[in-house]
Every structure is written in C-alpha cells, then in structure tokens.
Amino acid sequence: MPPVSVPPTTVPRVGVVMGSRSDFETMQGALELLTQLQVPYEVRVLSAHRTPGLLATYAARAERLNLSCIIAGAGGAAHLPGMLAAFTRVPVLGVPVQSRALSGQDSLLSIVQMPAGVPVATFAIGQAGARNAALFAAALLATTDEQVRERLCAFREKQTQAVLDDPYFAGHPQAGEA
C-alpha cells in the first residue's frame, strides 16, 4: 500500500478502514477524493476475522476521536463494516470490494443485509462505491462545516461543467442555444 499523504497535525474527521492491504486499490479513490476535498482522514487495515480485538479497539477510539464516519471496505464475507457498526455509534459507510469468487456480489450482500438495529450505509461494488462513500462522508461533514460544503459544491459544479463542455453534449435540447 503506497503511503497516504495527510498532514500529521490535522485531526482526522473520517476513518478509512480496509480488511486487507489488497483492498487498497479499491479504496484509493476514496482517499484521493477526501484529499481533494481537504477532509482529514486516517487509514487503517483491520480484519474482522484476523484482528477482531484491534477492530473493537479502533471502533471505541473512533468515538473518542469524534470521527464523523468510518468508510469500511471489505471483500468476500465482508464482515468488517458490520462489526465496526456493532462496536461504535459512529456511522459506517460500507464499500463492497470486488472478489474473485463472485465479483463482489458476496461482499455486497454481506454488507447490505445487516440486521435491523445495526445499520451500515452501503455503496456500489468497487472503486465507484469507494468514491461515492468519500463524497457521502464529505456531504455528512458539509452539514456542519461551511468550508467542506463550499469545496463539495465546487466539486459538483466542476462535474457538471465537464458534462456541459463535452462536445457531444452540444445541441442537446436542454443545453440551451445551439
């Protein structure tokens, strides 16, 4: 896993957790977006199956750190997001990592089928899900942080402008004058 650049003096607002180092490729888009939106985060590799004690400790620490949410990526049985949600009141955003066996369908179903009372917000399988989880985390923060709100609005405006600037969009009935 390549090093992630986060200013060491910045208190993290979002936790990004993955079940193994091999999940980094999927989760990298979330880290890039959080960096772009200047949302401080921390990254951890924790396994629900191999390091359950560390997972419980991290979940308790998340509350003490006042993290706004935890983005948790996991593949296969994908118990990481649900186990985190069971140990903390911090909202957990689950990202199903694409698996070899079932292309991430197993991960998706493991995360999305949480029992009533232990919610995990669940996103798309793979990199799109990781990026959307980061945008959702920023949207959560934007409800109380004007600077994050402004950066998120600018990001969305830039996305819209990229579509409007596409030469294949010109002449679309809703594009205005042709």
Q: What CA–CA distances, in Å, run from 42 to 10, 107, 165?
A: 10, 23, 35
Q: Which of 35, 26, 27 is nearest to 7 (CA)?
A: 35
Q: Which of 63, 157, 81 is nearest to 123 (CA)?
A: 81
Residue type, 102: L
Q: Which pLDDT tens digits describe the chain residue by residue (178 residues)?
A: 554 545 445 899 999 999 999 999 999 999 999 999 999 999 999 999 999 999 999 999 999 999 999 999 999 889 999 999 999 999 999 999 998 889 999 999 999 999 999 999 999 999 999 999 999 999 999 999 999 999 999 999 999 998 888 877 776 666 655 4
